[in-house]
Structure 1
């Protein structure tokens, strides 16, 4: 199933390659948190509908609530997708960029396996990868001191 999800993600990202935008367009907002080099290699797509893998195996694994959850954004490897109506919310971009870093640190298979296991074991709200992203986006939103999110994720994932 992990391989099938990985292939699906690759397909989705390939289909959107022409419309994705580099996160370097957000550099002025995230200065002091994300390096310019990282932002050049992370991308986002503004979309009407968030793409999600709706495989029967995922529902059988107890992830139906996650698949059906109404979210403003989702990350697949180096690209995240945001709904049009929330595309200007910097906190959402900040949050999804944390996930891009988690994907990089864990690798695609490692991220997918761990994310699924955490959702199963803890639920979405208490999944450690999500808690990390929410804590960091909250820090940003509250105008907390600058910190290297890249280093933080690398040291804490």
Structure 2
């Protein structure tokens, strides 16, 4: 099952490669929070509808709550997808970049497995990987002029 999800992620990212924006354009806002290397390698895609794995896979895993119509973004490895209304929200980009670091720290298979098990066990908002991303996001929002460098090793 994890292999199927990872294959879907790879295919989704390849299909949207032509629309991918580099996160390096966020450097003026995120210098000191994220490395230039991360900002250069990560990217985002603006979409009207967020990519979604096949519904049978989602339901089989018990992850229907992740497909909320209120969701504004989804991470797929080093690329995240945003609805147009979220593109100008720095806090959303920040949160998504924390997830990119989590993917890097854990690796694709272990990240997917851990993320799914945490959401099933705790629910979306209380899942530890989400709690961490929200925590860093809130710290950024509290004072965006007081950088604290986040590295992949800080996210596991």
- Tell me the TM-score normalized by structure 1: 0.93
Give the conservation status (yes or no) of the 8 Å contact 1:54–1:67. Answer: no
Matched, 1:154 2:153: yes
- The SS at the match of 2:12 is helix
Give the conservation status (yes or no) of the 8 Å contact 1:50–1:82. Answer: yes
Task: Using the TM superposition, give the Cα deviation of residue 155 of structure 1 relative to its aligned residue in structure 2, in angstroms.
Answer: 3.2
Q: Distance in 1 between matches of 2:91 and 2:57?
A: 32
Q: Distance in 2 between matches of 1:46 and 1:57?
A: 24
Number of aligned residue pairs: 155
Identify which range, 137-146 or 77-86, moves more after superposition: 137-146
Q: What does residue 90 of structure 1 align with?
A: 90
- 1:27-48 deviation per Cα after TM superposition (whole angstroms, max 9, x unaligned): 0000110111210000001111
Q: What does residue 18 of structure 1 align with?
A: 18
- The SS at the match of 1:34 is coil
Question: Which structure 2 segments of 5+ residues have no match?
Answer: none
* Runs of 4+ displaced beyond 6 Å: none
Q: CA RMSD in A?
A: 1.3
Question: Which runs of structure 2 are paired with 1:69-108 in the superposition (5 Å)?
Answer: 69-108=69-108
Task: Using the TM superposition, give the Cα deviation of residue 65 of structure 1 relative to its aligned residue in structure 2, in angstroms.
Answer: 1.9
Distance 1:58 1:34, change over 3 A: same
Question: Which structure 1 segments of 5+ residues have no match?
Answer: none
Q: Distance in 1 between matches of 2:44 and 2:107?
A: 19
Give the conservation status (yes or no) of the 8 Å contact 1:91–1:140. Answer: yes
- 1:18-62 deviation per Cα after TM superposition (whole angstroms, max 9, x unaligned): 110110000000011011121000000111111111331331332
Q: Distance in 1 between matches of 2:93 and 2:155?
A: 20
- The SS at the match of 2:19 is coil
Q: What does residue 133 of structure 2 align with?
A: 133
- The SS at the match of 1:124 is coil
Q: Distance in 2 between matches of 1:45 and 1:95?
A: 15
- The SS at the match of 1:97 is helix
